Amino acid sequence: MSTRTLAVVSGGLSNPSSTRLLADRLTAATVAALRERGEDATVEVVELRPHARDLADHLVTGFPNAALRTAIGTVVGADGLIAVTPVFSASYSGLFKTFFDVLDKESLIGTPVLLGATAGTARHSLVVEHAMRPLFSYLRAVAVPTGVFAAAEDWAGAGAEQALAGRIDRSTGEFADLIAGRPVAAGPADRFAGTPSFEELLEGA
Amino acid sequence: MQFGIFTVSDITTDPTTGRTPTEAERITAVLTIAAKAEEVGLDVFALGEHHNPPFFSSSPTTTLAAIAARTSTLQLSTSTTLITTNDPVKIAEDYAMLQHLSDGRIDLMMGRGNTGPVYPWFGKDIRDGIPLAVENYALLRRLWREDVVDWQGKYRTPLQGFTSTPRPLDGVPPFVWHGSIRSPQIAEQAAYYGDGFFSNHIFWPPEHTQRMVEFYRSRYEHHGHGTADQAIVGLGGQVFMRRNSQDAVNEFRPYFDAAPVYGHGPSLEDFTAQTPLTVGSPQQVIERTLGFRDYVGDYQRQLFLLDHAGLPLKTVLEQLDLLGEEVVPVLRREFAALKPAHVPDAPTHASLVAAAQARPEAVPAR
């Protein structure tokens, strides 16, 4: 049995936040699904709200301060990433996008990612497909086929709640399969390791 | 160890007065600043190259020649020379000319330039930045080292039987540094040729500079130029001083808050904690600067950025007085006491001529 690291990025701003609530449901179900597959998991949650100013500073200065550097290190070194955003104006929130804007664009290549979004109305239910999935395709992460969207009504009635639970189980099962099928993550890559020698540079490598 | 200043040649509104200097004022101010640097006992003045407002320095060799005429010991350098968008033939000619006019008091720092729109103005493409830096510099070296050059490459017209004039002073090309904020390929290039590596060391945290310099040093040794601790390293730095540190903080804060590069972001306190920026008393600057050695090792050149963000000329000249009278003499003494004998000084024209004469043949081409 190996131990996998799960990073959870939650873009919710309120407390309690339905985004964080969904993130927690996805996390618990993933840990359970991994255990069924013989894998232990440790979980690190990155709430973006405390990093709002850090992220704005990064946009201006071009480097992360110590707190944000720690959060980024958590995400880029994980075996799997659960990324959950509230829907703002028909897409992921600006804060959520900013976090992924400041990552090295090669840092999530091949990482399994479970996508989740929350909104006040089910009319945003395709946001996972039309907004989040292209973002993670660009980052060449491996997004789980089933994304999980939860509107206000999913938290309310018994029938809707069951439908959400079914989507959570299906997505986290797919997610756990992806993680369990891969070698344990080695942590963040050394960005100097791939530097070509000067002989290769001269030859146009 | 060499100490000096470097400027990016920005023309910025003084945020405390709302006044923007004219180009003429700023250009004259830079000549005054350079002359003052020599007067207060600094070793190096380096000038940037830009081809867009709000910068004036599109023609660095013209400016540096004017400074050479007004000074007698100051080493003149660039910060940086655009090896990507300039024709290497013109760099070879211009800087050999400047080398003659300054009696050998020049070196250069190569940089790629990260302003996307500049590349097409000179018929280039920013996506070719690294290959341009590699090919152009390889040609530049040959133009300075071989009297007659036949050459063909990807990025400029071929040369047949071309001789770049004037030939380098005393047959010895200027020493070259390579500046980079983030590209390990440029550190590799510097290491390959045994050239100097200059880390900007202003915008990013010390850990980043440490990693880049470590990489350059290890590759310098790999390419057989000496041990890693003999590699030629330069650092930038940024300071603002007053006798009382709180006065420095109060006076610099409005310039920091509105600065073109990092303004409107982190607080002055956060940025000084996260980067090498030091705002305080001369003693604080001395202590912080001596600390650079802890993470890059013994190094050869320290340049400070003083004239930027709209600071008035009078203030910059006061900063130079503090640097020359109170800071650099102490740094010189302290760094010299710490440096082992086998670590070389930064090459100068005199040391390069002596090295060339010590060899059985002329400087070999590479």
Range in A64-68, B30-34, B111-115 with the lowest mean pLDDT = B111-115
List C-alpha distances in Å: A158 to A119, A146, A172, B336. 18, 22, 21, 77
Provide the whole-model pTM.
0.90
Region for B139 from its dihedrals, namely left if φ exceeds 0, alpha if ψ lies in -120 to 50, beta otherwise: alpha
Among B214, B272, B274, which would you mutate to test the A interface (most chain A Cβ atoms within 10 Å of its Cβ)?
B274
pLDDT of residue A161: 75
Closest residue in B to A205 (Cα) is: B131
Interface residues from chain B to A (CB-CB < 8 Å):
130-131, 134, 138, 154, 184-185, 188-189, 191-192, 203-205, 208, 211, 215, 223, 262-266, 270-271, 274
Beta-bridge mates of residue A40? A3
Q: Could you give the percent of chain B with pLDDT greater than 90?
A: 94
Average pLDDT value for chain B: 95
- Give the residue numbers spanning the domain of B76: 2-358
Between vectors from CA A192 to CA A189 and to CA A197, what angle results, nearest 5°?
135
Among B270, B272, B275, B277, which would you mutate to test the A interface (most chain A Cβ atoms within 10 Å of its Cβ)?
B270
Instruction: For residue B366, tell me if it sits in a domain.
Output: no
Q: Tell me which residue in B138, B184, B204 faces A195 most closely, judged by beta carbons.
A: B184
Q: Tell me which residue in B185, B215, B265 faces A57 most closely, judged by beta carbons.
A: B265
The tens digit of pLDDT for each residue in B338-358 reads: 999 999 999 999 999 999 999
* Three-class secondary structure of residue B160 per DSSP: strand
Do B266 and A66 lie within an 8 Å CB cutoff?
A: no
- Give the residue numbers spanning the domain of A95: 3-202
Annotate A57-86 with three-state secondary structure. Answer: HHHHHCCCCHHHHHHHHHHHCCCEEEEEEE
Q: Tell me which residue in A60, A66, A201 faces B265 most closely, judged by beta carbons.
A: A60
Q: Is the pLDDT of residue B366 over 50?
A: no
Whether A15 and chain B come into contact, CB under 8 Å, resolves to no
Instruction: For residue B87, tell me if it sits in a domain.
Output: yes
ipTM: 0.82
Among A198, A200, A203, which would you mutate to test the B interface (most chain B Cβ atoms within 10 Å of its Cβ)?
A198
Q: Which residues of B are less than 8 Å from A66 in CB distance?
A: 274
Instruction: For residue B184, tell me if it sits in a domain.
Output: yes
Q: Is the pLDDT of residue B362 over 70?
A: no
The tens digit of pLDDT for each residue in B255-282 reads: 999 998 889 999 999 999 999 999 999 9
What CATH number corresponds to the domain at position B176?
A: 3.20.20.30
Minimal C-alpha gap between B263 and chain A (Å): 7
What CATH number corresponds to the domain at position A124?
A: 3.40.50.360
Total domains in chain A come to 1
pLDDT band for B58, please (50, 70, 90 cuts): very high
Total domains in chain B come to 1
pLDDT band for B361, please (50, 70, 90 cuts): low
The tens digit of pLDDT for each residue in A184-193 reads: 987 766 777 7
